[in-house]
Structure 1
């Protein structure tokens, strides 16, 4: 590249940092890597908020994910042209398979299956990349290479991964999108794999074997983390460069330390200028793909600011929210709530998520929000819908007579003591950096969630400890003390949330209980869950409401699976949706009332409450029995599970080489979507084999009574195992099955 030859050594080193300065003499503009776009543009103000990635995974719909990716990429382009804050280098999607449902970042992945993850990532990246053969709309970066499913001490965790698991489970989700040519970069994870930090791992070369020009972009502050393994920053940075890392996200916007480290590395002969040139060349090439240096017309240059959070993308968000809803149980036709030509009577919406829509850390600001209660009010009339959050109201004397809604969020791996939030009419109880308390936080949010409080029993009442600051509230009413300094406060009950919920449920014809998580609390980046159960107070609320009115439906709104064994045994109908963005309530209401037939399917196994899962740091999917492929027990809901308001029948399955065919018929009276899933079981492998492995899938819309032959391309890697030198498919018997889940199949 001519530009590379014109740059001085100092200018080249500056381009290795995330915040790349301008080079005016060459007409090179300033640039920075990284715009978060996991399920829409994040951190740049209002933007269309699509369902969380795990909710997009529940759609099993490549075409839809491509549309969502295109919409997200279009909004990135619009914001980039508007004020330049949005980089055309987007850090999305996350392709770590969802091995452990307790992982704090479960919401960010698509599926526990690597093939499904790769397929959906290809679709999303295709949308982000755009259709122009020469100019990319945005340049996607896959996250986080490799074997990253744990937040606890994530920068120190050394993950032991058997060779077969690496090549059959961890790597395919990255290699598929790279080989498809729709990915510009890959971001290594913070952790170590088999004793080696991912940022200096020899396996990075596998990425370049799949896509020679791929840019390896470090995670934030990861280059400095290498000081735990290397004596100096120069040696750590040099090792990362030689391993394949091109771009260094470190020290915020200050590139000085990065330049200093590489200057020393060059002076000491730890790296050569040719090594630097190779990295800078790839970075400049990635920028060139977006048309930055081209004299030809940029097909995306005219993207207007008005598309951001516009009506068209709002309609797409609604479609995506509807497509990802999964009907887990429906006994006795409990759903839909209404029958053709009639509407239900009164409906009580109960639970802390019934009249709220929550964003997550990687969301944009919601341009508007339709809650479940809103959605039902819009369709049934406000006079027929009541909403009760089911939270206790209390007083704490330090706030005078102010009544607070108290919520118990349970525990996590990082905090074995339950955390609570306290909400006043003016906002949530929070503490600033100095420990000064206020009641004005709009919602629990931020990298450090200052709205979380622990209650520690002491003589005379309880002591309040700020979970974020790690300090107790003192008599001076600041969160600045140790336990010895803590003031004792009484938490005085004002009203019972369960009593209010039971009263509302008893007075209604039907009840919709809406429970789940807050994506900022006890299950998020840096915080792993310590189990699968609902928080105890949510479980108690559900049981009390069901006892008061058996005509109850449970809607779970969550970033991850729950072990809802009691609900499966006692609640007539259960729906699950991810935090599905601005149109959450409209989508849920449409499914509850039968306007939309649910077609989502679970992207990961839901285990039972008594299931003993392997340790979070046990990544031996094969030996330890992770995921539907190797799990030896009976799940609560299997991978791929999801019910419909209609029924489907499968004809005989035929497999001829790389092509499978099966006729699927909608045998019911309603139109609906079936997710046809093809699995293969090997019988002749000389190594332990999966009980089933996903080989193909297709979401198929079928009108009532319609039959369609579904043609599926069999993924060759589904039949193969790692031999030490490569993937091999031994001769012998392989059983193919097609059906609606990993356990309900038709041969």
Structure 2
């Protein structure tokens, strides 16, 4: 036995914390500091191996080579099946173990990490979010339930060792890609606690998660990587689990704190702030640890951090490494996993099941399921009819079963056409065709095209500005394979310019004959004659006319027009796809639309005119087989929508308006009728709901209610149902949700089978965040328990009365009231009070007054008011306190020097005031307000 093995940290009988303490004490200060980077170096003298944080494992092992690819996370969310999601994560972690032991790293050096950067718990507030595919749901309870299931599948069941270490992404309020590193998510306390934190809190508190990743964005003006919420919320929730969370940065985010965010003056200061806020590992500068570690060393030398700050982070890392079995390979129950598990037949079967369960039947007027005798000839049409795509966090599919292939396996006559134009581009200067070939052209929206070689299937690209047929698969961080064909109106209608979407530059002929995208202006570009060799819509019409039924498969490419770093600009299908659909339906009314996409689409026309509409996410390697099973009725369409599908004419809130309450986001607050509601999904059978009962009609705020309901399959075939339990407050004193999901259950019923379901409902699930007390509260009064098939398909309701004392008026006299704890507002932006902690408010557009409303304020005895303000500009600024019928006081706001320099201003009230009132604060001018206080005489 070598010397390192005889050291106490090698003793498996010692408690974990003692082993960690012993190893930490043996590391030199430099060795500890080096461990703060994503690529932690080995310590040979102690027999400690190199360690790397993070492998991507969102819906299968990603980026490491061929592995089982499951449906996207939003597709897993559509299953509403916690056990299935747990099994998917289990398979993912088993394959990750195999990559760890038996495959060289595809990225970086060392070994493939067993720390899994998954699941994503960001809520799908806005369907235009470029990363919509990565989340489970727009609802926090639904997201938390599936997130916990995924974490438990990754962890494994051993009480001591982890199969993989799940890291929750991305903390916090991250739901936009455009300018994501400099945009601030304004999240007031109610939204923070009831919505954004609510998705993370149960998962962390359960002990299922071992870590978290901070988000790129800012929240209330402060970057997430220095947010006090990392400690005051995230880590606090984990205190009862017996383990601390290991918090990692997102890639390059530590550097972003200085540039582009300009939140700190230098990198030593920013890295110190991130470490002290709770970032334990810095994913920055790739494998170049010298730069970020050098910044941290400088911070240590300047006294910005202490050794204890470093040690705290390293201790958390070491704890995870012990739990992953690194120091006990002979005891680790997962150490024997071999490479044969990757793409194992059982994993393929699970991928097929997951893909089938994620399919959602949105509309069906009897066309589905397909009948091989009634409709033996099927035309499969569309850009996704015979193609499967990987998203950025997909693994590499070991094989692909497309929709056309899946339907062909079923037998019968299946004809597949893409419905795309085939063209040649002939140089006006030389007469030569571009690439010496023809291209199949697919438009993905807003004129963004891919041109795929008709002979080889390779995509035309312009990497390094050289136009060439360079990729079989589009899956790189920078997508070089998208173009626009812009008409040259000075010539005939078939003359176009070829323009790179990525660079915006035009194609020209180089001196060596190469085609390069180097022209900055249309005038300098080469002219191309667009020769139409095949009319895609004409071909699709012919195929539809010759078939008994058409299946049109439309949707998105996950790397184009909506992806990480790029939000969607709208929610409608690309115009060319919509035109293709309408042409096919005109020729063949028996048309089913299959939307294969990372996010919702406003398919209003299809809903109004087609007999069947189906949605699936990009479902991985088994997509086609799963869809064929559902379309033919071998599998019941058991998926339900995890987010609202809005109508095309619905004016959605601004993408940066994170206030779901006031903006009207999600099924909870959206006021217009949706195209398809949250939780919607049809079956091939029917279900009856009966006998909704509550164990009591009255209950205290700290009590529980047993809810029972009977669900019966009234159809002639077996089917899956998702019973959704919602609650609503009937006469709330605050703006309550229209409905709020409080529980759900998925079940399979045989024809005629009925089952009584029981739900244990803690009354605390009816709670809202009370801004007056800074805590969750369940108000006394009338509520309604709702059993439903979706947020708009209510089947049964039952009344419930919560007993208890009425809420007291808000205390503001001799009490400091935070400005952000308002009940309502107008023209207000939430900002940071200091770089370390605290929130404040400021006018969104200073020329216009900003208003805050505080309801039911007890002003008895108040004679004076004071306010904490900060201001760095000139001009007039004042703060007014008003009641409904009169002004109480006006406070002049002086210049304080900068936005973080706070001062207190005060004034006597214009008159004595008593009793309970609604209080308005009006901010005139450009300044910040963090708190106010009334004082008694």
On whether the aligned pair clears a TM of 0.5, the verdict is yes
Equivalent residue number for residue 87 of structure 2 = 67
Deviation at 1:716, TM superposition (A): 4.7
When residues 428 and 715 of structure 1 are mapped into structure 2, their CA distance, relative to the original with a 3 A threshold, is: farther
Equivalent residue number for residue 45 of structure 1:
65
Are the equivalent residues in 1 in contact too, given 2:383–2:418 (CA < 8 A)?
yes
| 1:630 partnered with 2:669 | yes
Say whether the 8 Å CA contact 1:427–1:440 is kept in structure 2: no
1:374 aligns with 2:374: no
Q: Is 1:222 aligned with 2:271? A: no
Partner of 2:678: 639
The 1:322/1:294 distance shift into structure 2, 3 A limit, reads: same
1:90 is displaced (CA, Å) by: 0.6
How many Å apart are 1:159 and its aligned residue?
1.5
Moved more, 562-571 or 492-501: 492-501
Counterpart position of 2:184: 158
2:131 is the alignment partner of 1:105:
yes
- Aligned counterpart, 2:844: none
2:757 aligns with 710
Match of 1:211 among 238, 249, 267: 238
Alpha-carbon distance in structure 2 between the residues aligned to 1:323 and 1:4? 47
Alpha-carbon separation, structure 2, partners of 1:142 and 1:665: 38
- In structure 2, what is the equivalent of residue 611 of structure 1? 650
Offset at residue 313 of structure 1 (A): 0.3
Could you tell me whether the CA contact under 8 Å between 1:696 and 1:712 is conserved in 2?
A: yes
Say which of 429, 440, 443 aligns to 1:405.
440
Whichever structure has more helix as a proportion of its residues is: 1
Q: Is 1:310 matched with 2:348?
A: no
Partner in structure 2 of residue 363 of structure 1: 394
CA distance in 1: counterparts of 2:390 and 2:374, whole angstroms: 31
Query: Within the alignment, does 1:472 sit opposite 2:506 as a pair?
Result: yes
Contact 2:72–2:134 under 8 Å retained in 1: yes
Whether 2:523 is the aligned partner of 1:482: answer: no
Are 2:476 and 1:446 aligned? yes
| Shift in Å, 1:683 | 2.4
- CA contact 1:55–1:579 (8 Å) conserved in 2: yes
Structure 2: distance between partners of 1:301 and 1:659:
44
Displacement of 1:258 in angstroms is 1.5
Structure 1 contact 344–509 (Cα < 8 Å) conserved: yes
Does the Cα contact within 8 Å between 1:40 and 1:364 map onto a contact in 2? yes
Give the drift of 1:631: 0.7
Contact kept? 1:322, 1:596, Cα under 8 Å:
yes
Deviates more, 1:85-94 or 1:422-431: 422-431
Which deviates further from its counterpart, 683-692 or 17-26? 683-692
Gaps of 5+ in 2: 1-20, 106-111, 428-432, 696-703, 798-937
CA distance in 2, matches of 1:715, 1:353: 45
Question: Aligned-pair distance for 1:295?
Answer: 6.5
Aligned to 1:265, the other structure's residue is in SS state helix
Matches within 5 A, 1:288-303: 288-294=322-328, 297-303=331-337
Given the alignment of the two structures, is residue 685 of structure 1 paired with residue 711 of structure 2, yes or no? no
CA distance in 1, matches of 2:595, 2:292: 46
Q: What whole-Å deviation, never above 9, does each CA across 1:484-512 have from its counterpart, x for those lacking one?
A: 42112222222210000000000011111
- 1:169 CA drift (Å): 0.5
List per-residue Cα deviations over 1:40-86 (Å, max 9, x = no partner). 00001100000000000000000000000100010001110113632
Q: Per-residue displacement from partner, 1:532-587 (whole Å, max 9, x unpaired)? A: 10000000000010000101111110110000000000000011100000110001
Say whether 1:696 aligns with 2:776.
no
> What do you get for the CA RMSD once the two structures are aligned?
1.3
**Are the counterparts in 2 of residues 427 and 439 from structure 1 also a CA contact under 8 Å?**
no
Q: Which residue number corresponds to residue 174 of structure 1?
A: 200
**2:280 paired residue number:** 246
Quote how far apart the aligned CAs of 1:713 are.
Answer: 3.0
2:785 maps to 1:736: yes
For 1:371 and 1:683, the matched residues in 2 are separated by 48
1:411-426 correspondence runs (5 A): 411=446, 418-424=447-453, 425-426=455-456
Q: What SS is found at the alignment partner of 2:213?
A: strand
Q: Quote the residue 1:275 is aligned against.
A: 309
| Residue 439 (structure 1) shift | 1.8
In the TM superposition, residue 155 of structure 1 has moved relative to its aligned partner by 0.4
Count how many residue pairs are aligned between Structure 1 and Structure 2. Answer: 736
- SS of the equivalent of 1:396 reads strand
Greater radius of gyration (CA) = 2
Verify the 8 A CA contact 1:200 1:240 in the aligned structure 2: yes
2:417 aligned residue (388, 392, 406) = 388
Partners of 1:431 and 1:443 lie apart in 2 by 11
1:394 Cα deviation from its structure 2 partner: 1.0
Query: Deviation of residue 717 (structure 1)?
Result: 4.8
**d(CA) in 1 for partners of 2:193, 2:166:** 23
Distance in 2 between the 1:430 and 1:471 partners? 15
Deviation track 1:681-705 (CA, whole Å, cap 9, x = no partner) reads 0124321000100000011111111
Cα displacement (A) at 1:216: 1.1
**2:631 paired residue among 586, 589, 592:** 592
* 3-state SS, counterpart of residue 254 of structure 1: coil
Equivalent pair of 2:377/2:414 in contact (CA under 8 Å): yes
Give the corresponding residue for 1:415.
none
Residue by residue over 1:115-134, the C-alpha shift from the partner in whole angstroms, topping out at 9 and shown as x without a partner, is 10000000011000000011
Query: In structure 2, what is the equivalent of residue 336 of structure 1?
Result: 369
Match of 2:770 in 1: 723
Q: Give the structure with the larger strand fraction.
A: 2
Runs (4+) off by over 6 Å:
none
Give the structure 1 partner of residue 660 of structure 2: 621
Q: Contact (CA 8 Å) 2:461, 2:467: kept in 1 or not?
A: yes
Aligned to 2:167: 141
Query: Do the aligned partners of 2:480 and 2:500 also contact (CA within 8 Å) in 1?
Result: yes
**1:469 CA drift (Å):** 3.0
Q: CA–CA distance in 1 between the matches of 2:143 and 2:760?
A: 16
1:710, distance to aligned residue in structure 2 (A):
1.0
Which runs of 5 or more residues in structure 1 are unaligned?
412-417
Give the equivalent residue in structure 1 for 2:805: none
3-state SS, counterpart of residue 297 of structure 1: coil
Does residue 27 in structure 1 map to residue 47 in structure 2? yes
| Equivalent position SS for 1:538 | helix
1:436 maps onto 2:466 in alignment? yes
Which secondary structure state, in structure 2, belongs to the residue aligned with residue 347 of structure 1?
strand
